[in-house]
Amino acid sequence: MPLLLSIASEADMDELTKTQFAAFYPHEVFHDILWPGPPTSENLAKSKNRQLAWMAADGHSTYLKVTDTGTGEIVAGAKWCVYDKDPNRSAVLTVDWYGDEGSEDRAYAQYLIDEFNGRRTERMKGSYCLLDICFCNPTHHRRGAGAQLVKWGCDRADEMGVQAFVEATLTGRRLYEKHGFVVTEAVDLKAERWPDRPLIQYLFMHRPARGKGNGKVTEDDTNGVNDLKSVERVNEANGVADVDVLVNGNGTNGVYDADGHA
């Protein structure tokens, strides 16, 4: 049956959270830091409540859902952040949901969050749109749900004439490239303090401003471009027949986007 894209509400958060965990758990390391599993009733409730709190506090975010019109099931979701002016990213997100206070688990989680958000603060300037999270239930891959979710935010960016950003997996790269995103850095997160923790990799992707603007690349449009050598490494990697083996051996890496939903 056809898929319907629409704005999600607070009433959708229970089902959206379940869909999110279906997309990411247990293979996405970074997701498990942000939204600890397994998807028990208790953990789902905690994740849902944090999402609701963030939704209420952030007037720049729009939560989307894709519904199978035949069954009524929410099969995919996303969160787009739309900024018509430079947001204040000086505040530090303190991890209080992972591990015990003072534990190595919590310190490691804080390191990842600081690294992740530090890149956002450094590169996302001025007005822009950010695809903060995008996911699809694996049983509904290849139906076009992801493309609908990505296009929604790209259309907003074009209407505003601003740039857009997303952090992607290697296997999710193709979907975003189809919508005009380009890789600007291949990020490896591995700290000497935690040698036994898994390597987390993702692609920082940027979509230059177009549409309402004059179409010219400005200084703001290049804020996301960084570490071209790492981009070359990714481009070379994509020449391998099976790129899945390049990301933790199975095509997953612990970052937000869900693969195979184009």
Give me the pLDDT at residue 202, please. Answer: 94
Q: How far is CA 56 from the centre of its chain?
A: 20
pLDDT tens per residue, range 187-238: 999 999 999 999 999 999 999 999 765 444 444 444 444 444 555 555 554 4
Q: Residue range 133-151: average pLDDT?
A: 97
pLDDT over 70 at 69, yes or no: yes
Q: At 150, which helix (H) or strand (E)?
A: helix 145-160
Give me the pLDDT at residue 232, please. Answer: 54
Q: At 189, which helix (H) or strand (E)?
A: strand 182-189
Give me the pLDDT at residue 233, please. Answer: 53
Q: Which of 62, 57, 82 is nearest to 12 (CA)?
A: 62
Percent of the chain clearing pLDDT 90 (strictly above) = 73
Rounded to whole angstroms, how far apart are CA atoms 30 and 51? 16
CA 113 to each of CA 70, 109, 157, 183: distance values in angstroms, whole numbers, following the listed order: 39, 6, 26, 21
In the chain, what are the domain boundaries?
3-246
pLDDT tens per residue, range 2-50: 999 999 999 999 999 999 999 999 988 999 999 999 999 999 999 999 9
Domain over 3-246 is classified CATH 3.40.630.30:
yes
